[in-house]
Structure 1
Amino acid sequence: MNDLTWAAVAVALLLGIAWYLSYSAARLDRLHARVEGALSALDAQLVRRAEATLELANSGAVDPASALMLAGAASESIEAHNERALEHDLLEGQHFAGREVLESDLTLALQAALSAPVVDELRASEGPGLPALERVEAAGVRVQLARRFHNDAVKDVQRVRRKAVVRVFRLAGHADLPRTVEFDDELPPAVRE
């Protein structure tokens, strides 16, 4: 092979490597965007769950102690969302900065307040309790799905960022490595039945 052929092979190889690096960087960028979208969706579902819980607490369908406990936990969740939205970008650092504890507390409050007898009574009633309970249940399911979707997206980003080519060529730039969101989001057993 002559020099011209070697030069053509070298140029083709360099173009192939450049295309692969560009493709990998674009893919990683899309994955990061997917994580941001999933995090926003999770945040929206958490707010809906807290609002549904407040609706249930204010419906008069549960006893006053349970209503107070539910309202307190839901208000703290909404307050944390509002403070985070006012002070910082939701996606800064790709985490909820302590909201996991508040969301777990809301889940625990729901589990404590919605025992089997209470849920049976709400389902048998004709008042505002049944629609509020159904809204809490639907919001809880959406929170579980949104968290699962977010965590799957985060795991995809983490898997791609572990690749040697991504680390060597710094294809992730200065983007923070996202982390999964872990909190208790189980629906009360009586609601799941």
Structure 2
Amino acid sequence: MGAVAWTAFVIALVALVAWYLSYTAARLDRLHTKVEGSVSALDAQLVRRAEVVREVAGSGALDPASSALLADAASASLDAADSTSPGEELRADGIGDQRAAVESTLTQVICTTLTPDVIAELRDENSGWPDVVERLRSAGQRVEIARRFHNDAVRDVRRLRHRPPVRFLRLAGHTALPSVIEFDDRLPDGL
């Protein structure tokens, strides 16, 4: 093999490695953007759920104690959402432990106050609230889906960032490694 052939081989190899690294860096950037978008989507769904819960609390269909518990938990969730922007939350690796605890508390209050009997009463056509119950169910499902979508995006980022070339060449730069978001987001029985 002549010098020209070796030179062409080395140039092709360097071009292939450069293309792979460029492709990997661009993919990593897209995945980080996906994580950022999923945090914003999750935040929006959590706010939507809290607003629907507050509407249920103010409906007059529940006893005063249950209404007060729901209203307080929903207000705490909305206050937690207002305290930080989604961009700040992303830098804190998701929505943060404090916000996750507030959202778990809201879920627990929903499950405690909205028993299957109460849900059945609200779903009754004569109650005037079946559409609110449907919006609450929909909001709860959207929260579950948004959290799962975010956690899948985080796993994709982590999987790519743990590859040796990405770590060795620091293709992620100084971007914080995102973490999965875990909190109680189950729907009450009967919803």
TM-score (ref. length: structure 1):
0.94
Deviations 1:41-71 (A, max 9, x none): 0110000000000000011111110100000
Distance 2:186 2:94 in 1: 20
Where do 4+ consecutive residues of structure 1 move more than 4 Å? none
Match of 1:132 in 2: 132
Letter in 2 for 1:95: G
Deviation at 1:78, TM superposition (A): 0.4
Distance 1:62 1:133 in 2: 12
Unpaired segments of 5 or more residues in structure 1? none
In the alignment, structure 1 residue 91 sits paired with structure 2 residue 90: yes
* 1:126 alignment partner, SS class: helix
Match of 1:161 in 2: 161
Matches within 5 A, 1:108-127: 108-127=108-127
Distance 1:77 1:128 in 2: 26
Letter in 2 for 1:144: E
* 1:183 alignment partner, SS class: coil
Matches within 5 A, 1:1-193: 1-85=1-85, 89-97=88-96, 98-191=98-191
| Count of residue pairs the alignment pairs up | 190
* 1:91 alignment partner, SS class: helix
Deviations 1:111-149 (A, max 9, x none): 001111111111125344322221111100000011111
Deviation at 1:92, TM superposition (A): 1.8
Unpaired segments of 5 or more residues in structure 2? none
Distance 2:92 2:77 in 1: 19
**How large is the Cα RMSD of the aligned pairs?**
1.4
Distance 1:19 1:6 in 2: 20
Range with bigger deviation, 118-127 or 73-82: 118-127
TM-score (ref. length: structure 2):
0.95
Deviations 1:130-172 (A, max 9, x none): 2222111110000001111110111111111110011011111
Deviation at 1:5, TM superposition (A): 1.5
Distance 1:21 1:164 in 2: 12
Distance 1:125 1:71 in 2: 24
